[in-house]
C-alpha cells in the first residue's frame, strides 16, 4: 500500500508562498501528474513529499502515517530527477546496482535484480558501458533503472524527460506508462508539459501560483476546465479565448463580440447577460455548414494557413 495524503500543505520561503495550503489524496497505485507553469510550486510539493523540504505547515501522510519528521530514506520513496547524474567511473551495471550495494543486499540477489530491471527498461545491452558512451535517452533509462531496482513503494519523478528531444521524450513517456502498468506502484510525476500530463496521468493536479486550480481526469479537465487559465493551459493549439458579452435575442442567449457573434448552445440556457469570455477549442470550429443545414455562426477572413501534414491550422 502507498497512499499519500497532502493535508493543508504549505511552504513559505521568506515572503514567497511557494505552496499555499494544498490538499490532495493520491491513491495507492495511481499515476498522478502535477502540472503547471514554471514557479507554480510543483517541485516544492514533490520535495516536501520526498522529505527534502520541511513544510511550513500542514502534513504529508503515507498510508495514514504523518511522515513530516521522517528522513527521506525512511519514507519508502524512489526519485528520478531531470539531471540523471550517473557515476561517471562506474559501468551502467554498477550504477544500477549502487543502491542495493548501499543496503548490503547479497551479491547474487543484486545481480538478479539488476538483470531484471535492466530488461524492464530495455538497457540489458548497455550494462557493460560507461555513462559517457550513452545517449541522453539511454542515460535517462539507466537513471530510471537505478531507482526501480531499489523497489520503492512510491516513485517521484521531477521533469525526468525535459532534457530530451521531442521524439525521445515521446518514446520514454510511453516507457514510463508501460513501467507503471507493469509495477502498479504509486507514481507522482512533475512536469510543465501539458501533453505529458494528458498522456501519462490517471489524474492531473493543475497548479498555479502555489495553489491547486483543478484536480481531475485528463479528459475531464480538457472538456470542463474550471477557469480560463486551465482552459488555455491544455491543448495544442490552445483554446481560443474571445472576450465579449452575452445578450438575449428573442429570449435566447447569444454571444457578441467584435467580429464574432453566435447563438449559444442549449447548455448555456441559465446564463445571465453581461461580460464573458467565450472559449472555443480549435477542433470544434468548422468551416462546413452545420448538419442542420444552417450556415455557420461567424464569417471570418482567414489570415494565415499553416499546413502541418496531418493537420492544417487556420488563423482568423
Under the rule (CB under 6 A), what is the footprint of ligand ATP? Answer: 13, 16, 18, 36, 38-44, 192
Q: Measured from the CB of residue 211, what is the shortest distance to ligand ATP in angstroms?
A: 11
Could you identify the residue written with the cell 499553416? 306
Q: Which is nearer to ligand ATP, 11 or 146 (CB)?
A: 11
Q: Measured from the CB of residue 64, what is the shortest distance to ligand ATP in angstroms?
A: 26
Q: Measured from the CB of residue 159, what is the shortest distance to ligand ATP in angstroms?
A: 7
**Which residue minimizes CB distance to ligand ATP?**
43
Q: Measured from the CB of residue 289, what is the shortest distance to ligand ATP in angstroms?
A: 45
Q: Measured from the CB of residue 4, what is the shortest distance to ligand ATP in angstroms?
A: 17
Q: Which is nearer to ligand ATP, 43 or 150 (CB)?
A: 43
Count, in order, helices (H) and strands (E) of the chain: 8, 16
The answer to whether the beta carbons of residues 277 and 241 sit under 8 Å apart is yes
User: Helix, strand, or coil here: 308?
Assistant: coil
**H or E stretch including 290?**
none
Q: Measured from the CB of residue 224, what is the shortest distance to ligand ATP in angstroms?
A: 24
**C-alpha to C-alpha distance for 156 and 51, rounded to whole angstroms:** 11
Q: Which is nearer to ligand ATP, 38 or 104 (CB)?
A: 38
Half-sphere exposure at residue 237, Cβ-oriented, CA atoms within 13 angstroms = 16
Q: Which is nearer to ligand ATP, 52 or 315 (CB)?
A: 52
Q: Which is nearer to ligand ATP, 82 or 150 (CB)?
A: 82
Evaluate the CA torsion angle 21, 22, 23, 29 in order and state its sign. Answer: negative
Q: Which is nearer to ligand ATP, 43 or 147 (CB)?
A: 43
Q: Measured from the CB of residue 205, what is the shortest distance to ligand ATP in angstroms?
A: 12
**C-alpha to C-alpha distance for 35 and 45, rounded to whole angstroms:** 11
**C-alpha to C-alpha distance for 238 and 225, rounded to whole angstroms:** 13
**C-alpha to C-alpha distance for 50 and 45, rounded to whole angstroms:** 9
Q: Measured from the CB of residue 39, what is the shortest distance to ligand ATP in angstroms?
A: 4
Q: What are the contacts of 11-19 at 24+ separation with CB within 8 A?
A: 11/41, 11/44, 11/45, 11/48, 11/53, 11/55, 11/56, 12/56, 17/210, 18/44, 18/210, 19/44, 19/45, 19/48, 19/55, 19/210
Please return the burial class of 55, using the count of CB atoms within 10 Å of its CB with bins 0-12, 13-18 and 19+: buried
Q: Which is nearer to ligand ATP, 232 or 297 (CB)?
A: 232
Q: Measured from the CB of residue 231, what is the shortest distance to ligand ATP in angstroms?
A: 20
Chain Cα centroid distance, residue 102: 32
Peptide bond into 90 cis (omega under 30): no
Amino acid at each position: 500500500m502507498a497512499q499519500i495524503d497532502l493535508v493543508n500543505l504549505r511552504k513559505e520561503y521568506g515572503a514567497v508562498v511557494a505552496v499555499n495550503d494544498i490538499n490532495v489524496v493520491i491513491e495507492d497505485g495511481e499515476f498522478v501528474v502535477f502540472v503547471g507553469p514554471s514557479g507554480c510550486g510543483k517541485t516544492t510539493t514533490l520535495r516536501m513529499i520526498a522529505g527534502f523540504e520541511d513544510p511550513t505547515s500542514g502534513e504529508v501522510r503515507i498510508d495514514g502515517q504523518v511522515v513530516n519528521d521522517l528522513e527521506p530514506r525512511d519514507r519508502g520513496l524512489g526519485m528520478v530527477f531531470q539531471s540523471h547524474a550517473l557515476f561517471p567511473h562506474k559501468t551502467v551495471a554498477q550504477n544500477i546496482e549502487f543502491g542495493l550495494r548501499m543496503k548490503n543486499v547479497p551479491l547474487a540477489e543484486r545481480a538478479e535484480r539488476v538483470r531484471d530491471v535492466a530488461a524492464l527498461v530495455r538497457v540489458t545491452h548497455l550494462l557493460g558501458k560507461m555513462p559517457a558512451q550513452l545517449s541522453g535517452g539511454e542515460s535517462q533509462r539507466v537513471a530510471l533503472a537505478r531507482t526501480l531496482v531499489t523497489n520503492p513503494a512510491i516513485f517521484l519523478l521531477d521533469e525526468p524527460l525535459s532534457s530530451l528531444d521531442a521524439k525521445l521524450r515521446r518514446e520514454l513517456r510511453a516507457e514510463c506508462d508501460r513501467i507503471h502498468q507493469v509495477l502498479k506502484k504509486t507514481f507522482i510525476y512533475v512536469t510543465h508539459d501539458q501533453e505529458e500530463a494528458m498522456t501519462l496521468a490517471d489524474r492531473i493536479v493543475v497548479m498555479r501560483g502555489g495553489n491547486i486550480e483543478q484536480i481531475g481526469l485528463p479528459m475531464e479537465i480538457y472538456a470542463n476546465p474550471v477557469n480560463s487559465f486551465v482552459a488555455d493551459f491544455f491543448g495544442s493549439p490552445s483554446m481560443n479565448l474571445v472576450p465579449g458579452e452575452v445578450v438575449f435575442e428573442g429570449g435566447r442567449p447569444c454571444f457578441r463580440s467584435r467580429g464574432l457573434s453566435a447563438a449559444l448552445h442549449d447548455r448555456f440556457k441559465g446564463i445571465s447577460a453581461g461580460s464573458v469570455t467565450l472559449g472555443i477549442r480549435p477542433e470544434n470550429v468548422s468551416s462546413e455548414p452545420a448538419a442542420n443545414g444552417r450556415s455557420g455562426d461567424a464569417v471570418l477572413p482567414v489570415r494565415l494557413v499553416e499546413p502541418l501534414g496531418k493537420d492544417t491550422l487556420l488563423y482568423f
